[in-house]
Chains A and B, each alone.
Chain A
């Protein structure tokens, strides 16, 4: 069974819940997950208790994870309380029980050489980038961060970014802080100026598509953590699929939970997300009478 370092299912406990701007920062005591975590992994939490009418797990990128200390291993997540499930989570208090499955998904791939990297986060999508920054620094990579949001209260980690990165650029759509506009506005100059070879990004899908386009134009690799709605998070339900082109040039509908959530940006068929584009593996069979 699970001795190969795969995900665990842990009866966890809420350690703390804090408001951070428009978001919620939750720390969970969940033994064993930190030891297996790599940046880009996520956890799937059940919501509403054992008899909940909301059956589907909510998936959250891991912000930080610390192996066993005084309180046992902890996992931290950052989320927006937007629906009934996340609102319920936001109302949890220390010592409440939460069932945690993780770490799940493929993490960010790390460069073998000490190259310059830029980490782009949209909203709370910046959360997994801090652990990534640490791993990159350990490899002597240059780390730059671009954090963007609609408005200041929806930025996450702008202060922490200053400790994590050589340079931090902030953008807000309403101009409440930083450069008015989108994360992709300062990105081309930054890539050129710092000879960036890898662009990492986490945030809304349109942002990921735009960041990938900028990276492609500048000949940089891109690693994007996608956000697709999931039911199980562990690879069995087939709801979180998106069209991704493999090394063999064939597009397949792949599961973002186990084949992602991190994909090479240039492999994702961004313009076709939400469709099964013509030529997709198995698409012919879908069109026929059944």
Chain B
């Protein structure tokens, strides 16, 4: 964890261009803290039509599974107030195609790939960790143990501390040292701190907070759930306060553990809010559907927001709100 950085006295603004955006996540050192969120950027190619993916801190890929996967039937998506529900079902090409085509593309374009992996069994997670982790150039592995769009929704690994710990333990065991492993957690739990503690004890180098919240929408024409998958994951600005709360709680309880914040980030101000709550990096997800340039725009805006508050280094803002003295006007 970075040392407490003092906000410059008298609001002496730093020039945006002078802000050092470098961030450190365990063994991964990134040029800046803004990434794409898994499942919202495919494997980077499509977004590269709108901005240079190498300019981001990292590109987090859509979760890769061992086998090709057709996903769920349609409708897979419903727009909701300031957000959306999705029920994609992890459609993807499988690890062979990913390693043969998508990952080389990212590396060829100088992106820093964080590869999200999702398995049905511990064995699959282990295999994915070995194959992804041993590929040169992978900045980190993000372990999706919290996708709600699975066949047996009662068995989301991230909802049970022991199950979550088992997955992270095998992934950490089978991923080469030097490649950080981050656990992406679900906010749909009684205590996010308990789950975060469990995965960190099992070897996770950091946590990604949060995945989507499970939601449901009923179509008033058909009087049935609109999504073919019935339930779906809620994302977008609607979930942001939940995500910021999760980051705050985990950063407070586990101050030395790197946290990556994700959930409803649309602007640089949103990104800064996550960093103040304790996130060393942030991911932009659903906002991409609204604005394909969103990740790079958020980065540009974050630089301005940091500068305006006198943060010469992005790391100084990480967890800053926790370090402020109690507000004397408030009861604690």
A273 to B75 Cα, complex, angstroms: 10
Q: List 13 A-B contacts (CB under 8 A).
A: A1-B50, A1-B51, A9-B50, A54-B79, A231-B86, A231-B289, A232-B289, A236-B292, A258-B46, A273-B74, A276-B72, A276-B73, A283-B70
Which stretch from B20-28, B87-95, B177-185 is at the chain A interface?
B87-95
What's the nearest-Cβ distance from chain A to residue B65, in Å? 7
A274 to B222 Cα, complex, angstroms: 15
* Interface check A216, CB cutoff 8 A: no
* Interface check A281, CB cutoff 8 A: yes
A259 to B223 Cα, complex, angstroms: 32
Q: Mark A147-168, 1 if CB is under 8 A from B, else 0.
A: 0000000000000000000000
* Interface check B160, CB cutoff 8 A: no
Range of interface residues on B (Cβ < 8 Å): 35 or more
What's the nearest-Cβ distance from chain A to residue B94, in Å? 7
- Docked-complex contact A238 and B91, CB < 8 angstroms: yes
**Which listed residue (B42, B76, B120, B293) contacts A288, Cβ 8 A?**
B120
Q: Mark B61-78, 1 if CB is under 8 A from A, else 0.
A: 010010111111111110
- Docked-complex contact A57 and B290, CB < 8 angstroms: yes
For the A-B complex, the count of residue pairs with Cβ-Cβ distances under 8 Å equals: 144
Of listed A240, A241, A258, A287, residue having the most chain B CB within 10 A: A241
What's the nearest-Cβ distance from chain B to residue A239, in Å? 4
**Which listed residue (A2, A55, A228, A241) contacts B71, Cβ 8 A?**
A241
* Interface check B19, CB cutoff 8 A: no
Interface size on A, residues (CB 8 A): 45
Interface residues of B, dominant DSSP: loop
Interface residues of A, dominant DSSP: loop
* Interface check B40, CB cutoff 8 A: yes
- Per CB-CB distance, the 7 closest pairs between chain A and chain B, nearest first, are A239-B77, A282-B68, A282-B70, A290-B150, A232-B289, A285-B67, A235-B46
Residue of B nearest to A241 (CB): B74
**Which listed residue (A7, A236, A252, A290) contacts B288, Cβ 8 A?**
A236
Identify which of residues 1-44 in chain A touch chain B, using a CB-to-CB cut-off of 8 Å.
Answer: 1-2, 6-7, 9
A234 CB contacts on chain B under 8 angstroms:
46-47, 49-50, 292
- Docked-complex contact B49 and A287, CB < 8 angstroms: no
